[in-house]
Amino acid sequence: MALAWRLFVRTASVLLFVGAALSACTVVVDEDRPRPRPDGPQFCTADYNPVCARRGGEQRTFSNACMAERSGYRVQRRGECRRDDDRGPRACTREYAPVCARRGGERRTFANACMAEAGGYRVIGEGECRRDREEPRACAMIYAPVCARRGGSVQTFGNSCEAEGAGYRVVARGPCRGG
């Protein structure tokens, strides 16, 4: 019985010591670090599909939307954040210097590079966007001349199909005048 009592006292002493040591622990919370949203995803894949996200006044690029949401950020758009994202609306001239630009899988012609970038597109070439050049185009051999333009170049084509196939935009029926 004395042995049982000593074992009980020793166990109680150890538990009391461990309890005192644990009660002396201090938990430090780092408020500056983003906290995961409790209702958001807990685990994310490591795929790279960058997004630009914002939380309060802070903007940051994440490798994917799941990672941004998990960190408590709201996705603003696909792609990496740019330095000029915080500058607000961008003023562009109305100069006509057409460019072909892309955002995701969409290609679009803009009047100039500034307007393309302000719209969140990346310029991929000068001049208007054209259909894929690799795809051969069959045009009927009908003579119905048109005047067409590509950038600063103006040229007469046998018909509108030939002009469009060469990446030109028809500006007038009939041959080009002057020059």
Residue pLDDT, tens place only, 107-127: 888 888 888 887 778 888 888
Q: Looking at domain 89-129, which CATH architecture does it have?
A: 2-Layer Sandwich (3.30)
> Each residue of 50-73: pLDDT tens digit?
888 888 878 888 889 998 888 889
For tokens 């990346």, the residue is 122
Instruction: Name residues whose C-beta falls within 8 Å of residue 166's C-beta, 6 or more positions apart in sequence.
Output: 148, 150, 155, 157
CB 121 within 8 A of CB 108: yes
Q: What is the pTM of this model?
A: 0.30
User: What are the sequence ranges of the domains in the chain?
Assistant: 51-86, 89-129, 135-179
pLDDT band at 86 (very low <50, low <70, confident <90, very high): low
**CATH code linked to domain 135-179:** 3.30.60.30
The two domains 89-129 and 135-179 share their CATH topology (first three levels equal) = yes
